[in-house]
């Protein structure tokens, strides 16, 4: 599986936007970009995924660079509940169902 690189930690203030970056310079044409997050004392939960175009859902937006070598997860207005470890994961279309987790980015949201 292609590798992703994320900052170890980031901080944000409540009600401000947060941009969580992910580099994936070895991404292949069939790799989808997935984001999961893990709140304290819980299992991970799905956030969003995309292939080439930017994606929006009720939780977040995903901005994908034109060359697909990087992407950014955008939380439009951070809340205290968004404090979590965010994982950027690549998974090949039609490939194994498994997710390969890295260390992720620990997001701290300040009140």
Partner 1 sequence: ETGVTQTPRHLVMGMTNKKSLKCEQHLGHNAMYWYKQSAKKPLELMFVYNFKEQTENNSVPSRFSPECPNSSHLFLHLHTLQPEDSALYLCASSQDRAGSYNEQFFGPGTRLTVL
**Of the two residues 1 and 14, which places its CB atom closer to partner 1 in the complex?**
1
Q: For the segment 42-61, give every residue that binds partner 1 (CB under 8 A).
A: 42-46, 49
Task: Give the shortest CB-38-to-partner 1 separation in angstroms.
Answer: 8
For partner 1, how many residues bind (rule: CB under 8 A)? 19
Query: Which one among 41, 58, 67, 81 touches partner 1, defined by CB under 8 A?
Result: 41
Sign of CA dihedral 67, 4, 37, 85: negative
Residue number, 10 or 99, with CB nearest to partner 1: 99
**Which one of residues 35, 104, 107, 109 is an interface residue with partner 1 (CB under 8 A)?**
104
| Chain residues in the site for partner 1 (CB under 8 A) | 32, 36, 41-46, 49, 94, 96-104
């Amino acid at each position: 599986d292609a590798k992703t690189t994320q900052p170890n930690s980031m901080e944000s203030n409540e009600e401000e936007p947060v941009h969580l970056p992910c580099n994936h310079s070895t991404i292949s044409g069939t790799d989808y970009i997935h984001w999961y997050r893990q709140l304290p004392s819980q299992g991970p939960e799905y956030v969003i995924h995309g292939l080439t175009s930017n994606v929006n859902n009720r939780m977040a937006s995903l901005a994908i660079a034109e060359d697909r070598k990087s992407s950014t997860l955008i939380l439009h207005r951070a809340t205290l509940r968004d404090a979590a470890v965010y994982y950027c994961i690549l998974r090949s279309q039609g490939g194994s169902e498994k997710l390969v987790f890295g260390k992720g980015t620990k997001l701290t949201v300040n009140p």
